[in-house]
Amino acid sequence: MYPVLFHFGSFLIPAYGASVAVGVLVALYLAERTARTVGIDSQQVWKLCVVALFAALVTSRLLLVGLNWSVLRLHPSWLLTLAMVHHPLLACFGALVAVVVAVIYGWRQGLPLWTTADALAAPVALAAVFEQLGALLAGSGYGTETMARWAVTYTDPLAGIWSGAPLGVGVHPVQGYAALGFLALSMFLMIWLPRRRQAGDVAGLLLVGAGVVVFSTEFWRDAEGRGAVLGGALDGPQMAAAALVVVGGVVLLERRGVVGG
């Protein structure tokens, strides 16, 4: 595949970073529309997204440097580009920080918590589509070996350096499987948003749906660096996905009978 889209001398435009950037822009545009659908200030929601994304970016970049210092010190110019040495902890930890910052910022701005969460559900799922497409191009979160006709083969050495992807071996395009799952989830949430019965329904469905997508697609991902649970029966992301389903179910149950934000 293509971990780097363009070269400008030593300056690189990697596929993963570029795809994530496009996904952020598309998600921000969609968030303005969904905010209007639920009747809250779209500009406030846009600002909340920008603040949360900035916090996630800074946190992820600091964690990236800490985890991959031995590589980055040999290629310091990578820190000045969109290049990313991907690690399973980056997206998870960055997302956690983004959620915390978004909740605090929204509370300070007087945004209704659950209504705002509903507005952001479909944009978050859509952003995950682009993140997984970028991962597919870059080789991060690569799949298990397969002889299937739709297998992908990574040949660029940077895919191995940045993401640890195996070179010259056909693997499941599991990132594409996940992207399709998140795309279907985003479309469903968009359809359900104006039909929700109470605030929090769409956010709860996002958590449950995202958990199902992550848990199911992990069976086609290579286990390297993803942790082992229950003697290897499950991995770290699957445990996190199960937690998402449980939390989403609790949100849906707790919001019964609650009206408004």
154 is a domain residue: yes
**Minimal CA–CA distance to 132: which of 212, 217, 236?**
217
Q: For residue 76, count CB atoms less than 10 angstroms from its CB and return exposed for 0-12, middle for 13-18, buried for 19 or more.
A: exposed
Would 261 be classed as within a structural domain?
no
In sequence order, the 6+-apart residues with CB closer than 8 A to the CB of 160 are 139, 154, 166, 167
pLDDT for position 78: 58
Nearest-angstrom CA–CA distance, 16 and 31 = 22
Tell me, yes or no, whether 259 lies in a domain.
Answer: no
The angle that helices 88-108 and 42-67 make with each other, rounded to 10 degrees, is 150
Count of domains for the chain:
1
Instruction: Going residue by residue through the chain, which has 261 residues, state the pLDDT in tens, using 9 for 90 and above.
Output: 777 777 766 667 788 888 888 999 999 999 999 999 999 999 999 999 999 988 888 887 777 676 666 666 666 655 555 445 455 566 777 788 889 999 999 999 999 999 999 999 999 999 999 999 998 998 888 999 999 999 999 988 878 777 778 899 999 999 999 999 999 999 999 999 999 989 999 999 999 999 999 999 999 998 776 777 777 677 778 888 999 999 999 998 876 544 445
**What residues contact residue 147 under an 8 Å CB cut-off, 6+ apart?**
170
Residue 101 lies in a domain: yes
Domain of residue 125, residue span: 4-254
CA-CA distance, 155 to 158, in Å (whole number)? Answer: 9
Name residue, tokens 């019964």.
256
Asked if residue 260 belongs to a domain, the reply is no
102 found inside a domain = yes
Residue carrying structure tokens 């749906």:
209
User: Residue 82: what pLDDT?
Assistant: 44
Q: Which of 138, 160, 7 is nearest to 77 (CA)?
A: 7
pLDDT at 222: 84
d(CA 50, CA 95): 13
